[in-house]
Structure 1
């Protein structure tokens, strides 16, 4: 399961035909109380975008949410910049 030591996941979805250039970043950060926060940033490439922080009591729960969201984004066409051809 992903955790804070693995670092953030940067995903992009670029489709020039639809004028689409989006990014999505997922990361997990520990909280001061022993839990973990899932931090999500998204928006159009070249902007600051938006952010959402979701806090979990257990790091494992944050890891499961991280994996679930990453799978969903990859199914929708997002990929890491190195994976693109």
Structure 2
């Protein structure tokens, strides 16, 4: 199973009135697989959620890293409360 810590990102740009968050986490399923849970929206709201299920934790880890890389390219940064450091 995966040991990936949850990722909490935010993108704040006052000039565009933009205050967004994006969270990624991996949860085990009852059948031995893994689910990638995504939450996103405007900071201060509940936002939206999506759950993607994978057969293995490695597939979920790969999808999570791919999404995190994409969001960081679009200007999302670590939230103030998270260190952004992942254990090896």
Matches within 5 A, 1:60-79: 60-79=58-77
Partner-residue secondary structure (3-state), 1:32: coil
Unaligned runs of 5+ in 1: none
Partner-residue secondary structure (3-state), 2:30: coil
Q: Residue 6 of structure 1 corresponds to which residue in structure 2?
A: 4
For 1:78 and 1:36, how far apart are their aligned partners in 2?
A: 25
For 1:37 and 1:6, how far apart are their aligned partners in 2?
A: 12
RMSD across aligned positions (CA) = 1.2
For 1:34 and 1:81, how far apart are their aligned partners in 2?
A: 31
- Report the number of matched residues: 80
Q: Residue 78 of structure 2 corresponds to which residue in structure 1?
A: 80
The structure with more helix, counted as a fraction of residues: 1
How far 1:13 moved relative to its partner? 0.2
For 2:79 and 2:36, how far apart are their aligned partners in 1?
A: 21
Q: Residue 31 of structure 1 corresponds to which residue in structure 2?
A: 29
For 1:29 and 1:81, how far apart are their aligned partners in 2?
A: 21
Provide the TM-score with structure 2 as the length reference: 0.86
Moved over 6 A (4+): none
